[in-house]
Amino acid sequence: MPNKLPVYRVSRFVSEARSLLEASYPGIRIEGEISNLAQPASGHKYFTLKDETAQVRCAMFRNRARFAFCKLAEGQHVIITARVSLYEARGEFQCIVQSVEDAGEGQLRLRFEQLKKRLADEGLFDAAKKTVPPEMPGRIGIITSPSGAAVHDIITTFRRRFPAIPLLIYPVTVQGDTAAADIAAALQTANARNECDVLILARGGGTLEDLWPFNEEIVARAVYASRIPVISAVGHETDFSISDMVADARAATPTAAAEMLSPDQDAVLNQIQNREKQLLRSVERTIENAAQRVDFALRHLQHPEMSLRNRKQHLRQLQLRLGQTTRSQLARQRAASQLAKQRLADNSPGNKLIQASQALALTREKLVNGQTALLKDRHSALANSVQTLHVLSPLATLARGYATLHNPHDNKPVTSVTMVSQGESITARLGDGELDCLINQVNKKE
């Protein structure tokens, strides 16, 4: 008995298999380890994604690779977003990669966003609850690693700008499993001792994983609970941590935090010298006026005793007026100085930086929400297209009870009664198999 299975050409079989794969997996996320990474000059990236028991070939074309969030490396543990396909020229099953993210960093970012939302809902980021750091602190506490670059940059900046302010270092580890507990304990110790007017929480730049202790809840709550104002200076300008959001102020870098709290000593000295000159000129004018009045009295000298009484009385008046004038001048100078300090505080770059940082965080959140909504719409449209394709598929038509007829000898489709004769055999294909049929009679429509 001859084999009734259809005979496919290789190209047709591979093409149909590709269509089935792409329809079944239009989009999928897969986690695994990168191996056999190849990055030719074309800009495309080819690698194998594997786990303990299986592997799959992956291709990431140049237009996607140049916008990848992380740099690919051999042995890296990643999560890819891809569509499943089949490379027809070699008959190889593969994933066409749309995006790649580091598996560990992706989990950290998820934890970051979850903690950020929870603390925001509790009000830990409210600007109304923040304390403005003092303009001229008596002592500054620095919570950081005693051997890191951050503490060196802070000390160097204070020595250059205003070395008169004493610094107190609270040494902690700023990276690793114990860092968050160390930092929280240092904040509690600084508040218990109450030795400083303001605290700088600092560390140099690094990856998200390196900076993670400053995104831990225990550190955020310790910063929020601090009675002493806290300035967060974690990482580089582009880094943003939970500690930055909870702190009373954020500095882009440790050096920027030192500049925020240290006035320029040359400017302060010039201001003091100008005030001293103004006071001296005022006293000199007062003394000159008193001397002129004494000279006038001497020219109109009366009886010695009366003259002496008048001079004593006049001298007392001059002394009183001199004291009043001096006090008045000092009071005006103090008022002018206080007004200048208030205007400087109102126009502080630190306040404007906080507002800009909050606006940036809000814009970033809106962008993330917009991207999420867009992806959801695209996924919904893609699902509708897949459903429409299924409805129009010939296989779906066969599944509803229709059949196609074929000549068993050459596998050609029978589309007219003129193509067969009584007594011939034909094959009827249905959705779930085939029927071998014998033609008893041919009836052609008139």
CATH of the domain at 172: 3.40.50.261
DSSP 8-state code for residue 39: -
Q: What is the DSSP string of 311-344?
A: HHHHHHHHHHHHHHHHHHHHHHHHHHHHHHHHHH
Poorest-confidence range of 19-23, 327-331, 398-402?
Answer: 398-402
Domain of residue 248: give its range. 123-261
CB 406 within 8 A of CB 414: yes
Residue 366: inside a domain, yes or no?
A: no
Q: Does position 255 have pLDDT exceeding 70, yes or no?
A: yes
What confidence score (pLDDT) does residue 202 get?
94
Of 308, 326, 349, the domain-final residue: 349
pLDDT at position 366 over 80: yes
Least confident of 65-74, 345-354, 435-444: 345-354
Beta carbons within 8 Å of 172's beta carbon, 6+ residues apart: 143, 144, 145, 179, 182, 183, 185, 186
User: Which strand (E) or helix (H) includes residue 178?
Assistant: none
| Structural domain ending residue among the three candidates 261, 287, 321 | 261
Average of per-residue pLDDT across 358-362 = 86
Question: What per-residue confidence (pLDDT) applies to 104?
Answer: 66
Task: Answer yes or no: do 134 and 97 share one domain.
Answer: no
Domain C-terminal end among 58, 73, 104: 104
Assess whether 227 and 337 both reside in one domain: no
Residue 238 lies in a domain: yes
- Is a pLDDT exceeding 70 seen at residue 243? yes
* Same-domain pairing of 132 and 91: no
Q: Which of 165-174, 254-263, 378-387 has the least mean pLDDT?
A: 378-387
Identify whether residues 225 and 167 lie together within a single domain: yes
Determine if residue 411 is left, alpha or beta; phi over 0 gives left, psi from -120 to 50 gives alpha, anything else beta: left
Count of domains observed in the chain: 4
Examine the domain organization and report whether 48 and 166 are in the same domain. no
Q: Does residue 380 form part of some domain? A: no
Residues 252 and 270 occupy one common structural domain: no
